[in-house]
Amino acid sequence: MTPPAPGSPSLAEQLKGRLIVSCQAPPGDPMRHTDTLVRMALAARSGGAAAVRVNDPEVVAATAAAVDLPVIGLWKDGDSGVFITPTVRHALALVEAGATVVAADATARPRPDGSTFAALVEAVHAAGAQVMADVSTLGEGRAAAAQGADLIGTTLSGYVPGSPVQSAPDLALVTDLAGALDTPVIAEGRIATPEQAAQALAAGAHGVVVGTAITAPTALTRLFADALAPRP
Ligand X SMILES: CC(=O)N[C@H](C=O)[C@@H](O)[C@H](O)[C@H](O)COP(=O)(O)O
Task: Write the DSSP assignment of 124-167 as a string of letters.
Answer: HHHTT-EEEEE-SSHHHHHHHHHTT-SEEE-TTTTSSTTS---S
Q: Which range of residues in 88-96, 121-129, 141-149, 209-217 is near ligand X by CB under 6 A?
A: 209-217
Cβ nearer to ligand X, comparing 170 with 176: 170
Which amino acid, one-letter code, is at 2?
A: T
Is the CB of 118 or the CB of 213 nearer to ligand X? 213
Radius of gyration of the chain (CA): 17
Count Cβ atoms below 10 Å from residue 120 Cβ, excluding itself: 28
Q: Is residue 211 at the binding interface for ligand X, with CB under 6 A as the rule?
A: yes
Draw the binding track, 169-198, toward ligand X (x: CB under 6 A; -: no contact).
-------------------xxxx-------
The nearest distance, CB 198 to ligand X, in angstroms, is 15
Please work out the total of residues on this chain that contact ligand X, with binding judged by CB under 6 A: 15
Residue nearest to ligand X (CB): 211
Amino acid identity at 211:
G
Q: How far apart are CA 69 and CA 45, in angstroms?
A: 7
State how far the Cα of 171 lies from the Cα of 189, in Å rounded to an integer. Answer: 10
203: which DSSP letter? T
Q: Does 24 bind ligand X (CB under 6 A)?
A: yes
- Minimum distance from residue 160 beta carbon to ligand X (Å): 9
Residues 91-150 that bind ligand X (CB under 6 A): none
Where do contacts with ligand X occur on this chain (CB under 6 A)? Answer: 22, 24, 74, 155-156, 159, 188-191, 209-213
